[in-house]
Amino acid sequence: MPREFFRSDRVAAQVKRELAELLRTDFKDPQLGMVTLSDVEATRDMSLIKAYVSFLGSAETPQKCVKALNLHAPKIRYALSSRIRLRVMPELRFIYDDSIERGMKMEELLGGIKASQATPDDGEAKEETP
């Protein structure tokens, strides 16, 4: 019977919990604003962890915020290694997750379509037949 869950998936879930707590409590940077961790993926060989983040209330562009987080990645990785017991802690990379912005754009487009369908076309009056 094949396994349903890989070890890398379980480690990614644990890293997500611990990383969210670390970003919330220990690594606060006023320029970053509130950092939201949306997903964490680990490679099958456990050499790399990709953390997808978004920022709310940031004074900087998302690219600068991700760059700042990636500069702090070794410190965050060290803090994670004290919380999670692994033989080798995987390399940590932060990637900007723009799914919230894309969702808002889609909602705006769908709202525009819905509004255009609600108005009558070209003001033509429908004739009623007896």
The domain that contains 67 carries what CATH number? 3.30.300.20
Query: For the chain, what is the domain count?
Result: 1
CA 119 to the chain's CA centroid: 37
Owning domain of residue 71: 7-117
Q: What is the pLDDT of residues 35-65, one digit of tens each?
A: 889 999 999 998 999 999 988 877 788 889 8
Give the percent of the chain with pLDDT over 90. Answer: 30
Asked if residue 125 is part of any domain, the answer here is no
pLDDT per residue as tens digits for the range 101-115 = 888 888 888 888 888
Q: Which residue has the higher pLDDT, 59 or 14?
A: 14
Taking all residues of the chain, what is their mean pLDDT, rounded to a whole number? Answer: 84
Mean pLDDT lowest for which of 62-76, 81-95, 98-112, 114-128?
114-128
Alpha carbon distance 41, 44 (integer Å): 9
DSSP run (H or E) holding 96:
strand 91-96
Residues 6+ away with beta carbon under 8 Å from 97: 38, 39, 52, 53, 54
CB count, 10 Å around CB of 104? 10
Distances (CA, A) of 66 to 8, 27, 114, 129: 24, 14, 36, 64
Give pTM, 2 decimals.
0.74
pLDDT score recorded for residue 127: 55
* 130 inside domain: no
